[in-house]
Amino acid sequence: MLRLGGREFGPHEPVIMAIVNRTPDSFYDQGATFRDEPALARVEQAVAEGAAIIDIGGVKAGPGDEVTAEEETRRTVGFVREVRRRFPGVVVSVDTWRAEVGEAVCEAGADLLNDVWGGADPRLAQVAARYGVGLVCTHAGGAQPRTRPHRVTYDDVMADVLDVTLGLAERAVALGVPRESVLIDPGHDFGKNTRHSLEVTRRLDEMVATGWPVLVSLSNKDFVGETLDRPVKERLIGTLATTAVSAWLGAHVYRVHEVAETRQVLEMVASIAGHRAPAVARRGLA
């Protein structure tokens, strides 16, 4: 059972986490949701399309202009508070690696801290424990925040992913984070080249077998683009194919830009797996 905020999600219930970037330089939307009203409209649309979690980020993952903790806080805290007010049933997540930002967004009502840089600030887990919120424990290959991988190698990439994420997860629980609110994430593209990201996808069932709920963040990423030689705006089909494979192998939470399309893929896979009845069943019955 996965418990985040006031929501509980069963083991065969796929969960969509919609991305809302509060940045002027996002790789995907180039700042389309930097201002409050477009961002709130994005949240409303995502929830209507089936997102259970809204993931709010104030700093883009890649290199770029410096964003101080104060500026990241300014971009996220008021928005978290407003999303919490307007959408009381949604799980509010914040993508940050900084403990001081985590503290501020938890005070504003966040339910989940999405630590995509794999414990770069070890105090973030302590913040999650203090507020009783969830934590995403991600493998970033030891990369520093906002850096790209450079000639990174692993003897066995999945062995490293498991060692790091399970260590972060157990540390979080030891600090007091509720066990049922901790997720692990293989960290596609983070500290990995394209072949590494493909391998961790292929071997995702090894993460699922640990018993921790697995979150995957696949949406329009570089490994999809390089695999198919497609620019950012032409990566949806590759993303959905990777989503289907991840769903079949047992991933639980999907961090995405395109909610409606992802929901159809997840529902189809769930029905093939026997976890969901068809929405309509008429063919051959009349």
Phi/psi at 124 (5° precision): -65, -40
d(CA 58, CA 172): 23
Q: How far apart are CA 184 and CA 166, in angstroms?
A: 7
> Of the candidates 141, 147, 258, 114, which has an alpha carbon nearest to the alpha carbon of residue 199?
141
Round to whole Å and give the CA distance between 76 and 216.
22
Residue 190 per-residue DSSP state: T
Say if CB 97 and CB 115 are below 8 A apart. yes
Residues noted as catalytic: 221, 255
**Can you tell me whether residue 204 is helix, strand or coil?**
helix
Neighbouring C-beta atoms of residue 133, cutoff 10 Å: 25
Residues forming beta bridges with residue 256, ordered by sequence position: 18
- Region of residue 217 (left: phi > 0; alpha: psi -120 to 50; beta: else): beta
Nearest to 51, CA basis, from 84, 16, 12 = 16
Q: What are the residues whose beta carbons fall under 8 Å from the beta carbon of 163, sequence distance 6 or more?
A: none
The structure tokens listed for 140 are 């970033």
Strand order in the sheet with 53-57: 182-185, 134-138, 112-115, 91-95, 53-57, 15-21, 253-256, 215-217
